[in-house]
Amino acid sequence: MRTIGVFDSGVGGVSVLKEVLRKFPADNIIYFGDSLHAPYGEKEIDEIRSLCLKVSDFLVYEKKVDALVIACNTATGAAMDIMQKRYGIPVVGVVENGAAEGVKHTHNKSIGVIATPATIKMDLYKKSIAKIDSSIKTYSVKCPLFVGMIEKGWEDTLENDELIKSYLNEFSVEIDTLILGCTHYPLIRKYIARHFNGNIIDPAEETAKSLKKIIGEGKYLHKPYLKFYASGDPEKFKKVAQEFLGQEICEVEKIIL
């Protein structure tokens, strides 16, 4: 029976995990949230890469996963190429899948991306979109406050609503498609949608689909398990993860790598 590893800098990757669970109901799933070091998006690339490899080494060498999903845009840009060469198992990330979905939906060839500072610094979406269609213009806005607020548990307040509005107002042109370039952001999608009427792209579903194309359907050999590990406060992680995953989590084991 296969085991799929999913990891993120914290709780945000549950947006991807939810899609992985839908696409792979017969497979064991392990999720690692490196919440002790969140947010990755404000760190230097070398540090992000080092953190990613510690987590992925744990999943591949200790937990023996058969495939790896990088449920973090910043981590995808910083470390996916290295991981693909390092492990010899399927490794998929969210950026290329999000870019492809954005290209499918835009009509005016103007795509907006909201993401962490590190993701935007690496120009991940701009480069990926240009590979697919060089005529499309990509505009990016960094949202440094979102991840920390989501990790604590987002509150629907007037202040937070104004923060979303202020970030979206930074786009200097009319975009018809908005890519949520951080896996934390789909967790507040309904609040973002109050201020954006165009296409909102969550790369999670396409990422799960791309893995399914690589490894195919799983087979029920026995009841699959879902395990959670977090490097930060497990109870805090559990509370926020349950809210967004929409199901109870039995236990979150704390592991500091």
The residue from 52, 143, 182, 250 that is catalytic is 182
Beta bridge partners of 201: 179
- Per the annotation, the verdict on 72 as an active-site residue is yes
Q: DSSP class of residue 108?
A: S
Instruction: Count Cβ atoms within 10 A of the Cβ of residue 227 and give its class: 0-12 exposed, 13-18 middle, 19 or more buried.
Output: middle
- The sign of the dihedral angle between the CA atoms of 49, 54, 55, 61 is positive
**Helices (H) then strands (E): counts for the chain:** 11, 10
The residue from 52, 72, 143, 250 that is catalytic is 72
How far is Cα 98 from Cα 31, in angstroms, rounded to an integer?
Answer: 21
- Reported for 23-26, long-range contacts at CB under 8 A and 24+ positions apart, including other chains, are 23/208, 23/209, 23/211, 23/212, 24/208, 24/211, 24/212, 24/218, 25/218, 25/224, 26/1, 26/217, 26/218, 26/219, 26/220, 26/221, 26/224
- Per the annotation, the verdict on 250 as an active-site residue is no
Closest CA to 234 of 72, 35, 16, 37: 35
Active site residues: 72, 182
